[in-house]
Amino acid sequence: MRTYAQLSLEERYQIEARLGLKQTPYQIARELGRHPSTIYREIRRNNDSVDRNGEWHMKPYTARRAQKRTRVRRVKKGAAQRKIRGPLKKLVESKLRLSWSPEQISGRLLLEQGIRISHETIYQHILRDSKELGFYRYCLRFGGYKHHRFKKSKAAERTRARKKWIDDRPAAANDRTEVGHWERDSLLGKRGGSAMLTLIDRKSRYVKLVHVPSVETETVARATVRGLRGLPIKTITNDCGVEFQREESLQMKLGVPIYFCNPGSPWERGSVENANGLIRQYLPSGSDFDALGSWAPVAVEETLNLRPRKVLGFRTPHEALFDQTINLTKDQTMHFGLEFSRHT
């Protein structure tokens, strides 16, 4: 016999099937490697008696009903064993509504009534209430969001520790003294539809716009490689969006470091934020990117990259990135950007 453990749903299906084959509880116990009393108790606990024309009959054992009843009993047992219940529960919750901290509640209960209850027990009560969509977490000083009891998982902490943060980005990227330091962000269109990946060089302000069918991590990574192909790349900076996670494979593929901005700090990637604002002139919020031709993102790119920028001394991003000079005011035959639709 093995060490006792709760019956699993699979074992309960086995019991249901074998009872249907008219096996005895003793035979079922031998087949499952369980003690016969475990099987007897399982069947007795989870059978129902029904009244049929004045006679009581047992309903057949079913695995689904047995599993559900076991879960209900476990929850009830846990609730019955909790320290915070009845009048004490009402008292603790009334003090939480007054913005008392769990430690203050614990200390005052011991001082006034000699009730020993740790602040950790009160935090656990708040956590259970939170899982049931209660509001007591919002009674905490930081609204429950910043308190260490509500912090991210250890896996999330390890992920954060693995990332390269903007504080460690090289000075050449921060000071915009050389090309090849890119920022990226995703530009959402119609809800549930596709998106655009925006890439911009920090020094030259050269923009690349890539249509992506979704903001799934691998899709965005492939679009980044495609968008930067043939261009100088030294670093990439982005926010902590889910589409930019698992960056290790992309760093290996491109051979450059990827830096993350601090959460809630859009000014740390101001170039791409500004570029998104310029792009929205042509692709407003709610646009259906799937309905656009493949010429559209290219046209927006060319319009922005061949537009003089004051910050560049009225040179264009194209000229700044490739160190070229283009005659934009004398050559009247030149067409580019949104003046030219590739679908016509």
Confidence check: pLDDT of 341 > 50: no
Under 8 Å CB-to-CB from 81, ≥6 apart: which residues? none
The token pair at 314 is 């009225």
Report the pLDDT value the prediction gives residue 2, as an integer from 0 to 100: 53
The token pair at 111 is 């001082």
Spell 175-184 as b/e; 16+ CB within 10 A means b: eeeebbbbbb
Domains in the chain: boundaries: 9-49+58-81, 86-150, 164-339
Q: How many CB atoms sit inside 10 A of residue 306's CB?
A: 16
Confidence check: pLDDT of 182 > 60: yes
Confidence of residue 240 (pLDDT cuts 50, 70, 90): confident
Report the pLDDT value the prediction gives residue 177, as an integer from 0 to 100: 93
The helix/strand/coil state of 191 is: coil
Average pLDDT value for residue range 5-33 = 88
Confidence check: pLDDT of 227 > 90: yes
pLDDT tens track for 298-326: 999 998 998 889 899 988 999 999 998 88
Confidence of residue 120 (pLDDT cuts 50, 70, 90): confident
Confidence check: pLDDT of 249 > 70: yes
More confident call, 71 vs 48 = 71
Confidence of residue 207 (pLDDT cuts 50, 70, 90): very high
The token pair at 317 is 């991003």
Report the pLDDT value the prediction gives residue 158, as an integer from 0 to 100: 59
pLDDT tens track for 326-340: 887 765 554 545 544
Average pLDDT value for residue range 266-272 = 90
The top-scoring range by mean pLDDT among 56-65, 116-125, 269-278, 332-341 is: 269-278
Parallel/antiparallel/unpaired status of strands 181-188 and 235-238: parallel
β-bridge mates for residue 281, sequence order: none
Report the pLDDT value the prediction gives residue 127, as an integer from 0 to 100: 83
CATH class of the domain comprising 164-339: alpha beta
For 213-218, the CB contacts below 8 A with 24+ separation are 215/186, 215/188, 215/241, 215/242, 215/243, 216/243, 217/242, 217/243, 217/244, 217/245, 217/246
Confidence check: pLDDT of 143 > 90: no
Give the integer Cα–Cα distance in Å for 252 and 220.
Answer: 15
Helices (H), the chain: 9-20, 25-32, 36-45, 63-81, 86-97, 102-113, 119-131, 154-162, 171-174, 217-228, 248-254, 270-279, 295-305, 317-322
Give the integer Cα–Cα distance in Å for 52 and 244.
Answer: 63
Closest CA to 180 of 157, 151, 200: 200
